[in-house]
Structure 1
């Protein structure tokens, strides 16, 4: 694979063996042509947003990819389906959720794809793990680093779970 574009993704799971699901999803991503996992955060246990449901495990990863943003998004959605993701209700429980957070310093505003992810600056479960592996990355909409955004968000619902084993 060529050098590719630097991309940040967020991963979450609260159904089944969430720890194994997140690790397996990152392993599978590393085997998809045009994608290489460059870095992965620790796992965090987080309170859910939305209807009553179990706590989530969340993590973030940095990818290098030669895929364009729309094709990458479709690849991530297909991976969710491989892990049994069914979209029934907004913010409902899920076996695997993968969000495309940042793609280089690009901004994209399409009906099916918004980069940077439109709610990432409000979500500690994204910013805390992302700040571990991309603290100096600047959000092109806010002009602030991920580390700064992570310090400005309420982190009370985000607890360290355990390290990823590389």
Structure 2
């Protein structure tokens, strides 16, 4: 199955952490087939924190959605993630955006990601690598979702 994951970090060496996350995803989840550019982005939700670096990756996986969530959370833990505050600062965050065209609604998992269409920091890198991928609920492409997104937060290519 083709899945899209959003990676984000705003503490520590952000780029090194994202690179390590991509490597661990390739080892444990599946083949990483696409990677967006890195984007420096304003925090969302809780705004009094450092800027993030975000990236969207496409992964071909044989894992079912619950196993995918389990693996991404294990990778977050291995990289030092501690959950203190919703939308708070973090060493690493891995969100499942899409799992092919499937709709998953369980106690622990909602796919497509419920805030995907409201966040420029998600839509800009997603539209870079999958501009024509259609949201299975909203039935709009990544490019169309970005065009109507009301979030005005800054999202710029990160050069280091």
1:95-106 alignment to 2 at 5 Å? Answer: 95-106=91-102
2:14 match:
18
Question: Separation in 1 of the partners of 2:13 and 2:53?
Answer: 10
- Secondary structure of 1:31's aligned partner: helix
Show structure 1 runs of 4+ deviating over 6 A: none
1:40 match:
35
Find the partner of 2:4 among 2, 8, 15: 8
Question: Separation in 2 of the partners of 1:155 and 1:60?
Answer: 19
Residues 42 and 162 in structure 1, CA contact (< 8 A), matched pair in contact too: no
Question: Separation in 1 of the partners of 2:53 and 2:21?
Answer: 13
2:74 match:
78
Q: What's the RMSD between the two structures over aligned residues?
A: 1.3
- Structure 2 spans left out of the alignment, 5+ residues: none
2:62 match:
66
Query: Number of residue pairs matched?
Result: 158
- Structure 1 spans left out of the alignment, 5+ residues: none
1:161 match:
158
Question: Separation in 2 of the partners of 1:38 and 1:80?
Answer: 20
TM-score (norm 1): 0.91
1:112 match:
108
